[in-house]
Structure 1
Amino acid sequence: MSRFLLVVPPLVGHINPLVGVAAELEARGHRVAWAGHPEPIAQLVGPEAESYACATPQELTRPPELRGVAALQFLWQKCFGPLADAMAPGVERAVDAFRPDVVVADQQALAGALVAERRGIPYATSATTTAEFSGALEGMPKVAEWIEGIVGGLRARLGDPAATHDPRFSPHLQIAFSTPELAGCDAPQARWVGPAIAERPAPDFPWEWLDPARSLVLVSLGTANTDTGGRFLAECAAAVRERAGRLQTVLVDPGGVLDTGSDADVLIASRVPQLPLLERASAVVCHAGHNTVAESLWHGVPLVVAPIRDDQPVIAAQVTAAGAGVRVRFGRAGRAQLGAALDAVLTDPAYATAARRVRDAFRAAGGAPAAAAHLEKLAV
């Protein structure tokens, strides 16, 4: 039996892929513990999970108007860097108490990688988005150099100053929860396992509301964009109502920017059972968050993607390059553009065919069992 410590940021999309991996490791007789913010870990893994609390900075949300390089600078200055400093003492306590054989560190939880390298513990990178493998900064050398400076300062404080590799890319093992068929690249150092889909607690849902004679559209902007999505969600609802004879929509609104409720065409809820709904969905409209995209394509569902910020434009480009969806502009798309995009992915069979092609690649990659097998080899 080996011990695996999973170090995660307080972000749902970065915890979800490791839930299935943790369950698989435990089913194989290993012991798993978590280090991070207790609330999302308990919500997604369960209150019985063995976990060690790590502090987080008070400010982890960005001003909604930030885009591009400004948003990236904010992330590193106000989020990733401060998050690593805040989490490090909790990770240290977890290492002392749990004595892991392997640390699994999310790419945005740099404290996990840096503490592991300083303590001489093998660690694996958990890459819940493939944007870091895409070479997005190749045309911005000054930005890349600036990020290297921040990482270097973190390493001097928290890690092994003699190390020279980028801690976001473990020299021992990098697990990417996608495949080259979607990512459009094949980083040879990564182990491409596809999405790690696992059952998770699901809220109640009025299944009797669904009309099997109409196509189901799921609309979600994730949990981190509630400050920006009101207009977009309202336009999505309007586009579907214009197609009421053939479409129904479940619209996820965690921030309550719209009136919660339902009519015959649109159901608005703060939380939904996303995985069971994807089994019935004909299309998904989303912000191109990697978690939502991966889960949609795992079910072979084509997408309308409206990236907002961060890695989302990269993931949206991957979707369109794979032929599995249509991209619209988040800030400008109205009901006419959204309706046309939905019409395209629902009526042109090429989109569904491409989505199924990615689905087949995802499922062949092995998911959580493949990730667990790679981690077992690292622990030997």
Structure 2
Amino acid sequence: MTEFAVVCPPYYSHLRLFEALAEELRDRGHAVHFIVNAGAAEMISAAGKGIFVHEVGRRSRHDLDRLIARAAGGGQPLSVLRTVRDAARLTEELCREAPALCRDLNIAAVIGDQMEPAAGLVARFLGLPLVSVASALPVHDDPAVPLPFLGWTYDSSEEGLKRNRGGLMVAGLLLARQKKAIARWADRFDLPELATLDDCLSTTCQISQLTESFDFPRQPSPIRHAVGPIRRQHLDDAAPPIRRDPDRPLVFVSFGTLQGHRLRLFRKIAEACRWVGADCVVAHCGGLTEAEAATIDARLVTDFVPQRAMLQEADLCVTHAGMNTVLDALDAGKPMLAVPMAFDQPGIAARIVHHGVGLRLTRGHLSARSIAACLERLLRTASFTDKARRIGRDIQGSGGVKLAADIIERAVAAPASTKRPVSKDRHVPA
């Protein structure tokens, strides 16, 4: 049995992935300890036999909810800077308390979210094997692949490589607060080789939810593994709340848990669906009040639906291009209209367009008319569905959570080149 520590940001979509991994590893006889920022424990539903949750820091759940709400504000520069500042503070909390906690729990390996540098910092400080998992788009460096938060097309020409280098320079400015936090704790942990988020990734094992058929072309690497969607085995067993009218197309609309408050946009999409003669199902994920939801003229407006079952019933999906919704739509073989808003969503939307499985609208070009034009094109052009089904078959055979657990077990069993012994009485520098 291995005692694993999971270190990830306090966002629902990230926690759901690691809950799936935790349950699979628990079922294989391991113990999994979530080490999360204060306020996040009640967001984790998998706690129980073999899965434990430990909070660090003094943050209240109310404070954490405010931080998450700020992160959902969008991709404008000021919003990005606020999100980076907030994330750096969460990293500081984890670095301050997680090492001692890991020692007390006899942690043998760390499974870290790629977006949380504390996972790499703490694992290296303690000399523990590290597995980096990408809940969102993978962040490992590839000169031909644009950064995840950029909606740029893939271009491996010299012009494209130059553009990507420029993106890295801008990212360095936007992520300055994060880099300061990494540098501070790298100095305290005596890890001079760690200076950026990329430096904090595992050097032996990195896992992502993509399949090669839905990513941009990447340089091959023996440490990078694309396993497909990492899902809990019992997820989405329920039937869809409504069935498709055989005489009308059905459009499913969801912007995930962080963007479900977009009332005006939901109204525009519902209006566009009426223009093209389609029924519309909106899942706002708890982002709207009952009174607000009642103002959307759609066949069904609700908080949550069994998403994968609903996508099987729908003809296409309108999405914020969040990783989970996009992979579920592709798994169902359904094309998408992407409206990216924040985080890695522009990069995922770029892949939707690159692979011909959907269209993209930027937030500055959103009108009922432009949305209707895209819906009409998606419904009338068979190639979008054909290509989505092709990638869907890859996803269905990708391995998912079981393959990810296999890779983690092998990685932890193998000797780690970066492992360095740390005395049990070694303390985190103040």
TM superposition score normalised by structure 1: 0.87
Aligned to 1:154: 182
Aligned to 1:335: 368
Q: 1:143 to 1:3 in 2, by over 3 A?
A: same
- Say yes or no: does 1:180 pair with 2:212: yes
Q: Which whole-Å deviations, capped at 9, do the CAs of 1:13-55 have from their partners, x for residues lacking one?
A: 2122223222222222222221225766655533534111134
Task: Decide which structure has the larger Cα Rg and report it.
Answer: 2
Structure 2 residues not aligned, in runs of 5+: 148-163, 414-430
- Secondary structure of residue in 2 paired with 1:279: helix
Aligned to 1:219: 253
* Contact 2:263 2:292 (8 Å CA) reproduced: no
The alpha-carbon deviation at position 286 of structure 1 amounts to 0.8
CA distance in 2, matches of 1:17, 1:353: 28
The alpha-carbon deviation at position 359 of structure 1 amounts to 1.3
* Contact 2:357 2:384 (8 Å CA) reproduced: yes
Matches of residues 247-286 of structure 1 in structure 2 within 5 Å?
A: 247-252=279-284, 254-256=286-288, 259-261=292-294, 265-286=298-319
The alpha-carbon deviation at position 71 of structure 1 amounts to 4.1
Among 190, 196, 204, the residue aligned to 2:224: 190
CA RMSD of aligned residues (A): 3.0
Q: 1:367 to 1:63 in 2, by over 3 A?
A: closer
* Contact 1:283 1:302 (8 Å CA) reproduced: yes
- Say yes or no: does 1:135 pair with 2:146: yes
Q: 1:72 to 1:39 in 2, by over 3 A?
A: closer
The alpha-carbon deviation at position 321 of structure 1 amounts to 0.4
Aligned to 1:363: 396
* Contact 1:104 1:112 (8 Å CA) reproduced: yes
TM superposition score normalised by structure 2: 0.78
Aligned to 2:82: 74
Q: Which whole-Å deviations, capped at 9, do the CAs of 1:41-100 have from their partners, x for residues lacking one?
A: 655533534111134565344387764554443332x22211101233453354134322
The total of aligned residue pairs comes to 376
* Contact 1:71 1:310 (8 Å CA) reproduced: no
Q: 1:303 to 1:168 in 2, by over 3 A?
A: farther
* Contact 1:235 1:335 (8 Å CA) reproduced: yes
CA distance in 1, matches of 2:52, 2:71: 34
CA distance in 2, matches of 1:259, 1:70: 28
- Secondary structure of residue in 1 paired with 2:207: strand
CA distance in 2, matches of 1:63, 1:32: 27
CA distance in 1, matches of 2:46, 2:381: 41
- Secondary structure of residue in 1 paired with 2:397: helix
CA distance in 1, matches of 2:28, 2:410: 13
Report % sequence identity.
24
CA distance in 2, matches of 1:38, 1:282: 41
Structure 1 residues not aligned, in runs of 5+: none
- Secondary structure of residue in 2 paired with 1:365: coil
Among 109, 117, 132, the residue aligned to 1:110: 117
CA distance in 2, matches of 1:122, 1:131: 19
Q: 1:215 to 1:168 in 2, by over 3 A?
A: farther
Q: 1:267 to 1:66 in 2, by over 3 A?
A: closer
* Contact 1:278 1:296 (8 Å CA) reproduced: yes
* Contact 1:53 1:90 (8 Å CA) reproduced: no
